[in-house]
Amino acid sequence: NDGFKGTGIGIDNSTFNLWVFDRWGNELFHSNDLEKSWDGKVKGIIAQEDTYVWKVTFNDIERKEHAYKGIVNLLK
């Protein structure tokens, strides 16, 4: 894949937030746009091959709040 992003149906894009963190909790990426993806770069440089933590929050179209977290592996 060329990027990592959220996807789903019934998401209120105006409430969407996606973060990617390194293992020490440093924020590497943030987007409040469902269509914007993390390209694996940090400050314009490809990050090292590793496991990263992601967190996403949003409201659905019925205004119910959702929060999820997980891991993403960056492979070159």
Residues 6+ positions from 30 with CB-CB distance below 8 Å: 17, 18, 19, 20
pLDDT for 73 equals 96
pLDDT 10s digits, 24-64: 999 999 999 999 999 999 999 999 999 999 999 999 999 99
3-state secondary structure of 26: coil
The pair phi, psi for residue 35, each rounded to 5°, is: -90, -10
How far does Cα 8 stand from its chain's mean position? 13
Closest C-alpha among 38, 41, 36 to residue 54 = 38
Q: What is the pTM of this model?
A: 0.92
